Amino acid sequence: MSTHVQFIARQAILNREQAAVGYELLYRGGPEQAALFDDPDIASKKTLDTSLLFGLDVLCGETKAYINCSRDLLIGDYLYGLPSSRVVVELPITMVEDAETRAACKRLKTRGYCLAVDNFVPEHSLAGLLPMVEILKINFNTPSRGQREEMVRQYGGHFLLVAQKVETHEDFKSAVDAGYDLFQGYFFSRPEVLSIRDMNVSQQAYMKLLEAAHDPEMDFLSLEHIIKSDAALCYRLLRYMNSALFCTQSGVSSIRHALILLGEREIRRWILLATVALAGDARPDELIRVAMSRAMFAELMACHARVQPYHAFLLGLFSLMDAILNVPLPTIVQRVEIPAEVAAALSGKAGRLRRLLNMIEAYEKAEWPVCEKIAEELGLQERTLPESYREALAWVDRVMA
């Protein structure tokens, strides 16, 4: 994979309510640059450049961008190209602290930037910089439980504390109980084992509706029947149609009238919004966003990967449905009639669809060597990946808005 293609991914930073308040931006140019993070100056400058190229609005919405900052990037004042209200500057704990770095941090603070220390540990405290720092990010799977709680007691009253690498719901609950403020990791995208249950009647109806909506041969009568069977769906559809978005002069008189006015493309979009939101109930918005971005990313890659676009879309969306419904994936596949190829891929069966999903998951985690290897196997052109990822994120923002 050549170095001229600039890849960037993001990882959500959530609050106690599991709402995204920021995204850490992760950059690498390709697998041959796997040692780029050994040269933090190059990695940081590339992250900055790609952030400007993609746009913070697309990468982070209305939340903040957490950007790793090398010493060279810091003292060179390169960050001033990004708005201070949108950026958290992450200082690595290994950064050399001297007169130059202290002066650069003071300049950033004067301009209104928020400073954080990444992978904070007390023995590498950057003592001279801490008075200017607002956020400490602590690797949650490194210290012992006692050490993690001690750091909250020692630093919690003075800093906002972020628990990093929170990979399970147990980790999340432990971090909340310990007093951490923000949380970063993939815990929210996995089902909570202790409360796993079967799908209720409404959830099954929503999954049936999703299945029907993404069938290439859309059956309007079947859709009308499913929607009419659920009061919440009826209400959402009529509200959606009568909103300022459509500006219908005479209003919408029936479900059938609404479906006719919408047309196939808009029906699919509305059903995606309504059913995933209703089926997920109280699940984090970020989980819905990731599922939707996977679906669109997969669809955009489908033609290049030689798979059917609507199969790819369903694969991406259903890949997180176990976490959205808190129901085991085999149960979902058994209860909802999705195409056999999609069901097989979701169940882990080898094939092009499964490889496409593996590639998307690697991209999300910035595992660039894995991503590049699978992309080559699927015959994907490297230049299509970052732009398609950006397009998927932008699409999710438009739809969620």
Looking up residue 90, the CATH number of its domain turns out to be: 3.20.20.450
**Least confident interval from 84-98, 199-213, 218-232, 291-305:** 199-213
pLDDT in tens, 255-280: 888 888 888 877 877 787 677 777 76
Q: Does residue 223 contact residue 259 with C-beta atoms inside 8 Å? A: yes
Do 78 and 201 fall into the same domain? Answer: no
CA–CA dist 45, 215 (Å, integer): 44
Average pLDDT over the chain, rounded to an integer:
83
Structural domains of the chain, count: 2
pLDDT band (50, 70, 90) for residue 302 = very high
% pLDDT > 90, the chain: 40
**36 and 108 together in one domain:** yes
Out of 154-168, 183-197, 206-220, the most confident range is 154-168
Residue 96 carries which DSSP code?
P
Q: Does residue 17 form part of some domain?
A: yes
Residues 143 and 238 in one domain: no
Q: Are 126 and 94 in contact (CB under 8 A)?
A: no
On whether both 71 and 120 belong to a single domain, the answer is yes
pLDDT of the residue at 2? 43
Binned at pLDDT 50, 70 and 90, residue 290 comes out as very high
* pLDDT, tens only, 92-128: 998 989 999 999 999 999 999 999 999 998 877 788 8
Residue 20, pLDDT above cutoff 80:
yes
The pLDDT assigned to 214 comes to 67
User: Which of 281, 300, 327 lies at the terminal end of a domain, its last residue?
Assistant: 281
- Report the pLDDT value the prediction gives residue 196, as an integer from 0 to 100: 54
Same domain, 148 and 269: no
69 in the same domain as 183: yes
Q: Are residues 130 and 255 in the same domain?
A: no
* Boundaries of domain holding 228: 192-281
Q: How far is CA 132 from CA 84, 91, 93, 117, 262, in A?
A: 15, 11, 14, 10, 53
pLDDT of residue 85: 93
Specify which of 86-90, 235-239, 280-284 reaches the highest per-range mean pLDDT. Answer: 86-90
Whether residue 196 sits in one domain with residue 186: no
Report the run of H or E that residue 26 belongs to, with start and end.
Answer: strand 20-28
Same domain as 88, residue 163: yes
**pLDDT higher than threshold 60 for residue 324:** yes
Residue 277 and residue 237 in contact, taking contact as beta carbons nearer than 8 Å: no
Pairing label, strands 7-14, 182-184: antiparallel
Q: Give the single-character DSSP code of 6.
A: P
Mean pLDDT of 137-142: 88
Asked whether residue 201 carries a pLDDT value surpassing 70, the answer given is no
> What string of DSSP letters covers 198-266?
---HHHHHHHHHHHHHTSSS--HHHHHHHHHT-HHHHHHHHHHHTSTTT--SS---SHHHHHHHHHHHH
Whether pTM > 0.85 for this model: the answer is no
Which segments of 97-200 does DSSP mark as H helices, in order?
99-110, 145-155, 169-178
E strand or H helix that includes residue 43 = helix 40-54
Q: Domain boundary residue among 191, 210, 244?
A: 191
pLDDT the model gives residue 144 = 81
Average pLDDT over residues 331-345: 84
pLDDT at position 240 over 60: yes
Most confident of the ranges 48-62, 108-122, 308-322: 108-122
Please tell me the predicted confidence (pLDDT) of residue 175: 94
Domain final residue pick, 191, 206, 239: 191
pLDDT above 60 (res 199)? yes
Least confident of 36-40, 148-152, 167-171: 36-40
Q: What is the CA radius of gyration of the chain?
A: 23
Percent of the chain surpassing pLDDT 70: 84
Task: Identify the pLDDT of residue 65.
Answer: 93
Mean pLDDT of all residues in 339-348: 92
CA distance 327 to 198: 6
Residues 6+ apart with CB under 8 A from 147: none
> Quick one: pLDDT at residue 250?
58
Q: 261, 246 in Cβ contact below 8 A?
A: yes
Q: How far is residue 76's CA from residue 83's CA, in Å, rounded to a whole number? A: 16
Q: Is residue 392 domain-resident?
A: no
CB 113 within 8 A of CB 138: no
Same domain for 180 and 229?
no
178 and 223, same domain (yes or no): no
Confidence of residue 50 (pLDDT cuts 50, 70, 90): low
Question: Going by C-beta distance under 8 Å and a sequence separation of 6 or more, which residues neighbour residue 155?
Answer: 136, 161
Q: Which of 5-9, 91-95, 169-173, 313-317 has the lowest mean pLDDT?
A: 5-9
Judge if 129 and 200 occupy the same domain: no
* Burial (Cβ within 10 Å: 0-12, 13-18, ≥19) of residue 119: middle
